Chain A
């Protein structure tokens, strides 16, 4: 791999705060559908983080499963249960 990971550390300043913001936001929102979408965004930023660490296989799985299918499954479930969390 001739890509120097040393050149990519600047992305950390963008990606890691977004990961933390999305993780906290997904827990804070009372509306489960908003939570599900924000959780999808969290997965997407984790996918960027994996890519930045050159773990492309993991990033691919995160993008397909985390940001893609599991968001849809969460949405499908959230529409059938009580939409607002109590706490």
Chain B
């Protein structure tokens, strides 16, 4: 049986490699995938949205609907893990106390984590805010923010971090992140534009000198902040559920 599967795999691999030889060469501007809309985005996205990094402007503006539901998918994934794993101690009245003098809580580890975590958070905020001009954006920034809390939970214990970042707050905030995204989109409907057509926000923000073009840039920033909030809290709640087996007691 193993021989058969090896043969099938080798045949399939050979077939794929032969097919790969017919692909257009890497970075070919005349490849079929780059012929339809790529030129339009490359030439017009800076004038239309005032965002130099057109990866961000495509993700958050031209294809904003996709990104909104990607955020929703992450939110749903977090909810799914929570419903599958979370076990409540409310009936058993089990008291979970943090362990301040844990022997394996290494001094070097905890002090290093204390110093690294704020740096990570500042960097994450930079990644979120600077996603218009450089690689990055809400998703990556949110993951780094969540990772800083995971680092603290790894080096101290889960209870220490859960004392500062309540589970209930994490859930509510991750919902709020999606709501910010959808709310910015729905605001465009109220202002007479299409859903997620941020340009119409200049009707409200015009008093601050925001033109329809820069309104799209600001709309993207707002949306990225929503994504970052959702991703950050979901990443931490995923870690908390998985590492404690849903008990929320000690973590790793």
Contact = CB atoms under 8 A, between A and B. Distances in A.
A68 B116 CA distance: 15
A76 interface: yes
Nearest to A77: B242
B154 A72 contact: yes
Contacts of B55: 57
A64 B140 contact: yes
B128 interface: no
Contact of B140 (A53, A60, A80): A60
Contacts of A14: none
A57 B136 contact: yes
A68 B252 contact: no
Contacts of B147: 64, 68-69, 72
Contact of A57 (B135, B239, B243): B135
Interface string B42-78: 0000000000010110000000000000000000000
Interface string A37-68: 00000000000000001001101110011001
Contact of B239 (A5, A60, A76, A80): A76
A85 interface: no
B9 to A, nearest CB: 12
A69 B26 contact: no
Interface of A: 5, 53, 56-57, 59-61, 64-65, 68-69, 72-73, 75-77, 79-80
20 contacts: A53-B26, A57-B53, A57-B56, A57-B135, A60-B127, A61-B143, A64-B140, A65-B140, A68-B143, A69-B143, A69-B147, A69-B235, A72-B150, A72-B154, A73-B239, A75-B252, A76-B252, A79-B252, A80-B243, A80-B245
Interface of B: 26-27, 53, 55-56, 127, 135-137, 139-140, 143-144, 146-147, 150, 154, 235, 238-239, 242-243, 245, 252
